[in-house]
Amino acid sequence: MSMELIKPGVNIDFVGKMKYAMAFSAILIVIGIASVIYHGGFNLGIDFAGGSIIQVKFSKNVSADQIRESLKSTQLANSTIQQFGVNEFLIRTHESFSDQKMLAVNVEQPLTAAFQHDYEIRRVEVVGAKVSADFTRKAIIAVIFSWLAILIYVTWRFEFRYAAGGILALVHDTLIVIGAVALMNMEFTINILAVLVFVIGFSINDTIVTLDRIREIVKRNPKQKLEDIINSAINETLSRTILTSLTVFFTVLALYIFGGAVIRDFAFALLIGTVIGTYSTIYIACTSVLFFEKLQLSRMQRKE
Amino acid sequence: MFKSLKLRGAITLIVCLGCLYFLIPTFFSNIPSPWDKYMFKEKIHLGLDLQGGMHLVLEIDTDKALDAMVERLSNDLKESLMDSKVRFRNLEKMQPAKISMELAGADEEKGLENVLREHYPDLEIESASPREDGKFVTLRINDKRAAELKKLTVEHSLETIRNRVDQFGISEPEIIPEGDDRILVQLPGIKDPERAKNLIGKTALLEFKLVDDENSLDEALRGNIPEGDVIAYGLRADQSTGVRGSSPYLLKDKSLMTGASLETAKVQIADRFGDVTVGLKFNSQGAVDFERITGENIRKRLAIVLDGVVHSAPVIQERISGGQAQITGNFTMEEARDLAIVLRAGALPAPVNILEERTVGPSLGSDSIRQGVMATIIGSLLVILFMIIYYRLSGAVADIALIVNIVLILAVLAAFRATLTLPGIAGMLLTVGVAVDANILIFERIREELRTGKTVRLALDTGYDRAFITIIDTHITGIVAAVVLIFFGTGPIKGFAVTTIIGLLASLFTAIFITRVIFDYVIWNYNIKKLSI
């Protein structure tokens, strides 16, 4: 007796719940947009907004306030100080210290004065305005390009109505991951961009498997109603969809827990992306094939 | 594909052995001779975020180089016009990189055109508008020459920075041009980032200029700077207090010699007080020039100016032959050593701006490796366990493929000298999650086929066949997304994309090919009635 998460012959009416799913997705997207507005725009990391990050590790107990106090009379007085692990802190500022002496004067000297040599500067990142403008442009192009590339591939392999559903799901996933990042007030960095592109690849992956199945059933029973075909395709591939999502979820969870602070935001966005990518495959991508089909039919009727 | 099981088994074996060959240096550092001769030499190359180091993006201010060239041309042009008896006034350099002048009469434009044609092919007349008593003319460098100069400036800067970094002694630096006017510098394992930045970013323009003692410095400081003069400041350390202050000098703007005439520069310790100085030795032409200049200007002061700062301005006592000089100025040993390096490597043809800097300390890098490896091992174990629990022996077969997949990614990274970054490790772990997907697809199909009552052998055949095209589709879309990242991403993100692509390609081989070899071997050799799946 083999283990089965989803019993064969299961038949859930996914298409019938399309309206609820659409409403649910709309709510998620609205929450995302609302939190972007609430936070006054995106919390852009230095990759996109320019600025400096200095990661300092102390060998004794130190509070963020003590650090702020020590930097009071420097150009870093208005910087954000964030705990980043045990006795480890991130100092962020929107100024980009390209001058060679700036770091010594504004960080090393005041920290040494306050904490002697019980600290270590572990990371310095400075991104100037020109580079951050470049990154922003490239990031937007990257996301749109990956949508387009996948749209072209799926259209070529299937039909446009399938591809349109897939792309709708991708835009949906991208918006929700961005919304989750905004909701948690996490920084929008290059790493988050990589997550977006990965989620795009991952989500279409699931969708393709189900679309493949739809096409197979259409070939087998061309007379069947499209609603029923879509439903059985989702049901037949359901156990695979969930299993794969589980394995990816496990690995991302391991990354989130054990991967360290540097990569935690990245892993968090991936966790959201994995869950949303699976949901959108089942509820958005395939059901919207039906939507585009109806659209096409009504257009054809009007032509007649 | 291939029908012969023996052939397929052999391919699998060769690939696995090949992987091990490429990974030996990464995991075993001391291979006893004579074996080491036959071994692959490269370890997996770690990104700066894992091994620590500095990543800099520099911008060469090519406009400044263009400006400097126009400045020189405008000085020469004055003399040429006077020689050709062209009447002009108020010839001066304008911002940005243009020359303006007034011509005294209407006929003078012909004369100017002749001079330009004969001696200044790089200059062209940009505009000429009539004035009451002549013409107002602006000149500029023609586009072709300007583009050429910018390109040369970047090439020259690249060369200079390479020289400096080489002399500083950093192993495996990477210095490559990026775009039109940017240079990417990667210095792994650097200990003192501030010092390295200083060394790379310093223009190091060494000039020898005469001090103008005929005009009043005070008058100049009030704003009446005599024509052809400039004010420069010098660092002067008070011998008794050691406090460094700055003192102004009035200098003749024309530089008599530059660092281009140097043959070498080295640190010297002046014997009495142990003061550190930088000794200069001119090349043969430089020595001749220096002798002439000192001979012509006895009892005048000669300022040694580095990047606009006067280091010293000694009085020339006598004609100096032999082509030697020295720069003094309260250096620490380290400062003097770095100055000697930059002078030897030559001046940058234009100032550089640091656009982006990312420095990771070695301790953070090793933490990241430890955590990344930990996450990978735990994540992989979770997936491996899950597959065995869910699919039993078939799951174990998929797990073998999974392990080969990880080994393959690492081996390809080592073989192609690709860089492993922290997001790269994450990409590898994600690939683990996605790679088993192919096997899940196949196994679910096989289960479906078995349910319809097919024999094990037939179910396997159909399962693999039906899942194949889907697997190809899913892999290609994944690769498409990763390729987009390679084009638009930066270092670490590229690492993520590269490992993902390698992982997806490898999983096509491991999840489809290798698992099938194992299944076929078992089924063809043993009479299996029931599949453990």
Question: What tens digit of pLDDT does each residue of B83-139 get?
Answer: 888 888 888 888 778 888 888 877 788 888 888 888 888 888 888 888 777 788 888
| B191 at A interface, C-beta within 8 A | no
From the candidates B429, B445, B449, which should be mutated to test the interface with A, based on the most A CB atoms within 10 A?
B429
Quickly state the pLDDT bin for A226 (edges 50, 70, 90). Answer: confident
From the list B283, B278, B273, the residue with the least C-alpha distance to B312 is B278
Chain A residue numbers touching B422 (CB-CB < 8 A) = 262-263
A103 touching B (Cβ < 8 Å) = yes
Please check the confidence at residue A282 and state whether its pLDDT lies above 80.
Answer: yes
- List chain B domain ranges: 5-52+361-525, 62-144, 202-358
Q: Which of A101, A258, A264, A266 best probes binding to B when mutated, by most B CB atoms within 10 angstroms?
A: A258
Mean model confidence pLDDT for chain A: 86
List all residues 6 or more positions away from B474 whose beta carbon is below 8 Å from its beta carbon. Answer: A205, A208, A209, B437, B438, B441
Give all strands of the β-sheet with B302-306 in edge-to-edge order. B244-252, B229-237, B309-312, B302-306, B206-210, B257-258
CATH number, domain B202-358: 3.30.1360.200
pLDDT, tens digit (0-9, with 9 covering 90-100), for B389-430:
999 999 999 999 999 999 999 999 999 988 898 889 988 888
Give percent helix, percent strand, percent coil of chain B, each to the nearest 5: 55, 20, 25
Two tokens, residue A239: 């156990």
Distance, CA of B198 to CA of A101 (rounded, Å): 9
**Residue A83: closest CA among A68, A67, A64, A59:** A64
**Considering CB atoms only, which of B357, B470, B484 is closest to A146?**
B484
Distance in Å, alpha carbon of A148 to nearest chain B alpha carbon: 10
Nearest Cα of chain A lies from the Cα of B18 at a distance, in angstroms, of 27
Question: Mean pLDDT of residues grouped by 10 in chain B (533 residues)?
Answer: 79 91 83 73 86 91 87 85 84 83 80 86 85 83 89 91 86 88 90 84 88 86 84 70 71 86 85 78 90 90 87 85 81 83 86 89 90 93 94 94 94 90 88 87 92 90 90 87 81 83 93 92 84 83
- Topology classification of domain B62-144: Gyrase A; domain 2 (3.30.1360)
**What residues pair up with A188 in beta bridges, in sequence order?**
A44
What are the tens digits of pLDDT across the range A35-86?
999 988 888 989 899 998 999 999 888 888 888 888 888 888 888 898 888 8
Domains of chain A: 51-127 (3.30.70.3400), 131-303 (1.20.1640.10)
B377-388 confidence digits (pLDDT tens): 999 999 999 999
Residue B443 has what pLDDT?
94
Residue pair B304/B325 in contact (Cβ under 8 Å)? The answer is: yes
Which chain A residue is nearest to residue B431, measuring alpha carbons? A248
Q: Do B62-144 and B202-358 agree at the fold level? A: yes
Range 30-49 of B in CB contact (< 8 A) with A = 49
Please check whether residue A72 touches B, CB under 8 A.
Answer: no
Q: Is B310 helix (H, G, I), strand (E, B) or coil?
A: strand
Helix (H) or strand (E) holding B359: strand B352-360
Q: Across the interface, which of B372, B429, B496 has its CB nearest the CB of A251?
A: B429
Q: Specify the CATH number of the domain B5-52+361-525.
A: 1.20.1640.10
Contacts of B187 in chain A (CB under 8 A): none
What's the confidence (pLDDT) of residue A173?
Answer: 93
| pLDDT tens digit sequence for A6-49 | 787 788 888 888 889 989 999 999 999 999 999 888 889 898 99
Distance of CA A214 to CAs A171, A229, B464, Å? Answer: 22, 6, 19
For A233-273, what is each residue's pLDDT tens digit?
999 889 888 998 999 999 999 999 998 888 889 999 999 99
Model's pTM, two decimal places? 0.81
User: Nearest-CA distance from B129 to chain A in Å?
Assistant: 38
CA angle, A73 as apex, A72 and A74 as ends, to 5°? 95
- A2: pLDDT strictly greater than 80: no
Q: Which of residues 117-136 of B touch A (CB under 8 A)?
A: none
Q: Chain A neighbours among B 354-373 (CB < 8 Å)?
A: 354-361, 363-364, 367-368, 371-372
Strands (E), B149-301: 174-178, 182-188, 206-210, 229-237, 244-252, 257-258, 262-269, 276-282
